[in-house]
Structure 1
């Protein structure tokens, strides 16, 4: 131990020695700067998106290909209703896309999940992905040649939706086979960030491209972009069921999936709480009216309408970019509950807002809450469900994610006509908070749920 007149040995841990004495040596400023820089790097790495899943080549290829294909798919999302309106000059026909899209999504989302549990998921991804590309090519032919008409477009749209409903649950069921459990929240956050970037960039790009290259070319670009995902899928290893199976993928297997959800309360609540959030809180059907009556857009639409539709995806993208902390959260049930309540608060404040910029801000906050909730709920599903049930669980997940907003559409419209859009939206936001708390109180096992593996980022 040094005497009272001897200098204190500099600490290797930073500018302050373990004894509490301040390091005043000649190199102290340099060490303090290095220490501060190191701490800032650690904080930044903890805050920004956790990219560890991208170190796994198979996942990295799938994710990178998704960056391309998600934008391409959004081009078709814009092209289909635009083409139908051009053919018919009727919004009623455009509205038929809801029926032609929802029915195959529900049927084939559930059945496709059952198929994914009984066959090699790589083969199923290749078959469904190839079918999606061919359907985009068929849509290109109808648009470029004028052959067929509106009903041909609607039928091809339904076929493509059915293939997407098979492909998406299968893709999500593959991820737990590629990555360790502790990286699933990060992987889901990365996936959702890409999807929301596509939801913003795709429509904007479509608006720019249609006057330049024409609407039919959007379908062709979508089909070509899908080659990236097909290549990434081809590079995957074989992914047969972990347990040998002899069963078929039929109605009985779909019913088994629902029975499995009922017996696993964590999964049940993860679906129920999302139905609450989207069924009560998704206000998209009133965006046109609020843009016109509250924020001053012309009745045909304007910049306010575009900002309202973009605000939730923007919030999700920002939350995804700063999602590094998700990996360290073990109490995922608590996190989902708080995130759903954040969604509800954002929606309620949006309904009460008279300022466009505050409205966009509150919707973005809601979107951030939705991103966190979705990342954790998908991670719960991928962790709690056994491999032989993951396909069916992802099918149910897909139906819930799509069905919730449709429920919101059913009641938001009449409620807005009765009490005004602002009051209807605010009521939906507050109802989301109340019913989310009720669901979690009835099933406290969800609140107590902890992720089985906790690993700090190196």
Structure 2
């Protein structure tokens, strides 16, 4: 029994073996927690200024194009420049943008257009940062520790997603939206201080210079691997149809529980945290494609339940189940990506991945707001969940290579493992 319980505990090997991973983990934990304050404050402020479902959902639309352009270009930069410096520069810029939101919120009559402008600029900087951040991880931990390292990152994200929205809800209700922006700005400053201490991570030997041709080479590589494409489209479908975050301020009102707004944002993190603290079993999973599909189906089913029930506590429970499914889905995707993509392409493929798990949520916010305007808030939530289940089921039927993926026998995984072992011998 004790052995089984030990098998459920998070694998701490990356923490023990890599000082730089500990610094990266700490940086992500601090800035991630702070970002949830803005995550809650922005839609709440837009709701207060406009009272419009669509106006809140439009934040996803204004973020989409910058994410597409800068995500792909950021991937090419991550393969050609020092990845740590890219992350540090983007993190600093994000802190400055949050300070602009703070300044606007302190005006006697806050303006709506600066919120959308900052949302677009934030998406651009995030597009530059995320590929470098994702490509940084495989250089800081051993190949066999990648799944455990991602699970540990999910742990801090889950804790942040649980505490951040709940605290943000209390702060915005008691001290106002400006205080939430101030907390986030301070978190970026603390994160930058930790990132400065990580060793330099120069580009791989013979790295291509950033160019359109380099970006296209990364896209062609992704296109050549059906299991990678499958991981992208399944995630896009799940988020496009079943990501109702934009309507949470209205859902809280519809359920006669405005006091629970922070809890609605935090509820998925309860499930994520429960799975994260028992994530030891994920290191033993090898069929990551099947793991991804099953988790996406669970996400959609849980969102369907969240829209159908009208009791706030049952809604929160359904969202918690959805969060657990999302944690499993993220672990599966990360395992496929980190274990099977060569280092010289890692940044560009991270840019493609950024699009896959960002386009869905951005369009999902617009879908949720637009659908709510037609069928109501609860209808928007449960119809999206049903559409998610149907679309993921259809995709699984036409993506046999994704379902057949096995890390023990995949030739791409074997090649990346050999590449990493050779680099460690040279070091």
**TM > 0.5 fold call:** yes
Show the counterpart of 1:373: 329
Show the counterpart of 2:84: 122
**Residues 286 and 407 of structure 2 are in contact (CA less than 8 Å); yes or no, is this contact kept in structure 1?**
yes
1:330 aligns with 2:330: no
How far the C-alpha of 1:377 sits from its partner, in A, is 0.3
Give the whole-Å Cα distance in 2 for the aligned partners of 1:133 and 1:412: 28
Which of 219, 238, 246 is the matching residue for 1:258? 219
Cα 1:213–1:343 change in 2 (3 A) is closer
**Residues 122 and 238 of structure 1 are in contact (CA less than 8 Å); yes or no, is this contact kept in structure 2?**
yes
**Residues 182 and 327 of structure 1 are in contact (CA less than 8 Å); yes or no, is this contact kept in structure 2?**
no
Give the whole-Å Cα distance in 1 for the aligned partners of 2:97 and 2:249: 31
Show the counterpart of 1:4: none
Which of 339, 349, 352 is the matching residue for 1:393? 349
Bigger drift between 145-154 and 364-373 goes to: 145-154
Give the whole-Å Cα distance in 1 for the aligned partners of 2:390 and 2:55: 37
1:185 aligns with 2:141: no
Show the counterpart of 1:273: 234
**Residues 350 and 359 of structure 1 are in contact (CA less than 8 Å); yes or no, is this contact kept in structure 2?**
yes
Which of 10, 23, 26 is the matching residue for 1:49? 10
How far the C-alpha of 1:116 sits from its partner, in A, is 0.7
What secondary structure does 1:193 align onto? helix
**Residues 70 and 127 of structure 2 are in contact (CA less than 8 Å); yes or no, is this contact kept in structure 1?**
yes
Give the whole-Å Cα distance in 1 for the aligned partners of 2:242 and 2:110: 39
What secondary structure does 1:117 align onto? helix
Q: Which has the higher contact order (CA 8 A, sep 6+)?
A: 2
Show the counterpart of 1:70: 32
**Residues 267 and 384 of structure 1 are in contact (CA less than 8 Å); yes or no, is this contact kept in structure 2?**
no
**Scaled by the length of structure 1, what TM-score is found?**
0.78
**Residues 78 and 348 of structure 2 are in contact (CA less than 8 Å); yes or no, is this contact kept in structure 1?**
yes
Cα 1:342–1:232 change in 2 (3 A) is same
Cα 1:52–1:424 change in 2 (3 A) is same
Question: Alpha carbon RMSD of aligned pairs, Å?
Answer: 3.3
Number of equivalences = 409
Cα 1:100–1:320 change in 2 (3 A) is same
Richer in helix (by share): 2
**Residues 286 and 412 of structure 1 are in contact (CA less than 8 Å); yes or no, is this contact kept in structure 2?**
yes
Cα 1:423–1:160 change in 2 (3 A) is closer
Bigger drift between 204-213 and 65-74 goes to: 204-213
Bigger drift between 131-140 and 446-455 goes to: 446-455
User: Residue by residue, what CA displacement relative to the aligned partner does 1:379-407 show, whole Å, maximum 9, x if unpaired?
Assistant: 21112211122112222222222221344
Give the whole-Å Cα distance in 2 for the aligned partners of 1:227 and 1:424: 38
Show the counterpart of 2:160: 198
Map 1:251-330 to 2 at 5 A. 251-284=212-245, 287=248, 291=252, 296-297=255-256, 302-303=258-259, 305-330=261-286
Cα 1:269–1:246 change in 2 (3 A) is closer
Give the whole-Å Cα distance in 1 for the aligned partners of 2:235 and 2:393: 12
Bigger drift between 166-175 and 204-213 goes to: 204-213
User: Residue by residue, what CA displacement relative to the aligned partner does 1:338-371 show, whole Å, maximum 9, x if unpaired?
Assistant: 2122223323333443544333322222221111
Give the whole-Å Cα distance in 2 for the aligned partners of 1:120 and 1:428: 41
What secondary structure does 1:222 align onto? helix
Give the whole-Å Cα distance in 1 for the aligned partners of 2:193 and 2:237: 38
Show the counterpart of 2:407: 451
User: Residue by residue, what CA displacement relative to the aligned partner does 1:77-123 show, whole Å, maximum 9, x if unpaired?
Assistant: 3444556677x566576665444433322321221112111111122
1:343 aligns with 2:299: yes
Show the counterpart of 2:64: 102
User: Residue by residue, what CA displacement relative to the aligned partner does 1:40-63 show, whole Å, maximum 9, x if unpaired?
Assistant: 1x2222112222221121111111
Give the whole-Å Cα distance in 1 for the aligned partners of 2:38 and 2:379: 34
Give the whole-Å Cα distance in 2 for the aligned partners of 1:266 and 1:286: 33
Give the whole-Å Cα distance in 2 for the aligned partners of 1:357 and 1:75: 23
Give the whole-Å Cα distance in 1 for the aligned partners of 2:402 and 2:327: 19
Cα 1:83–1:241 change in 2 (3 A) is same
Unaligned runs of 5+ in 1: 1-38
**Residues 163 and 266 of structure 2 are in contact (CA less than 8 Å); yes or no, is this contact kept in structure 1?**
no
**Scaled by the length of structure 2, what TM-score is found?**
0.83
**Residues 71 and 201 of structure 1 are in contact (CA less than 8 Å); yes or no, is this contact kept in structure 2?**
yes
Give the whole-Å Cα distance in 2 for the aligned partners of 1:410 and 1:162: 18
Cα 1:417–1:135 change in 2 (3 A) is closer
